[in-house]
Amino acid sequence: MNRLKTIILLASLTALLMWAGQVLGGSAGLWFALVAAAIMNIGAYWFSDKIVLRMYHAREVNQGQAPELHAMVQDLAIRADIPTPKVYIIPEEAPNAFATGRNPQNGIVAVTEGLLRILDRREIAAVIAHELGHIKHRDTLIMAIAATFAGALSMLANAAMFGSLFGGGHSSEDEEGGSPLTGLLGVILAPLAATLVQMSISRAREFMADEAAARFTRTPLSLARALRKIEAWSHKVPMHAGSPATAHLFIHNPFSAAGLTSLFSTHPPTEQRVARLMAMEAGQLEVAA
């Protein structure tokens, strides 16, 4: 169900981008949006991992520097049937982790120093298994594409707004463009709708990665305990580096703020994730292959 939901949502983003381009700029706007999205996707495919690792000052560690961590990652990668990813450590006290890389052959798992100190061995393994689930499902690429579409829509809306301020846009006799009211609604609603779709895709992929972690470790409750600890510590020790734009990468949003509705959340509520994991432990919820 989560895979089908992701396909539908990505298709929705594509349709939304094409509609916004057509409404805001006619056929020229449509082609501009598609070309911009293609260029941004290429950039995200090749460089997003390097950018995010540099943003968080992550450093690669070899087997000699972190033998237990490497052994854990290697064992779980075998269970996940993917190549062993590179391992990075982030100099942050907040317990958290993320995966990146354009495909399983170039996968990277990054964990914070705080995660290694605060969680026990089974909980760390569960978090790493969750991140390997993202790599196996190519979630890093899917989310980069979703973010790119959302970014292209925002850029298109900003260009349309800038053009309208200086008397640009379509005349009333231009058959290709929409009405001024439609154009204004597009400027306002298209980026908002894209953000909602992007967040929905992110939440769906988190559920899939939780299921993968339960399958790889065979101990769903270990991830449940880890998620509760990470959430509790995120309120005590905030993440210092990075940007909220990268929140979807982490196992728990390190930039969550009170007052935001669930529609704008990059992750499902922790209690909902924990409840699903407990149901898996009890055999009440089937774990997808």
User: Crossing angle, helix 121-136 and helix 67-80, to 10 degrees?
Assistant: 50
Cα separation, 205 vs 262, whole angstroms: 15
| Residue keyed to tokens 């690669």 | 60
Whether 131 is a known active-site residue: answer yes
Query: For residues 107 and 187, what is the distance between their CA atoms, to the nearest angstrom?
Result: 37
Q: Reduced to 3 states, what is the DSSP secondary structure of residue 166?
A: coil
Q: Is 111 in a helix, a strand, or coil? A: strand
DSSP secondary-structure letter at 112?
E
Supply φ then ψ for residue 59, to 5 degrees. -120, 140
Question: Which of 60, 93, 113, 131 is flagged as catalytic?
Answer: 131
Give the pair of three-digit tokens for residue 219.
Answer: 């101990």
| Residue among 63, 111, 117, 55 nearest 88 (CA) | 111
Query: Among all residues, which ones are annotated catalytic?
Result: 131
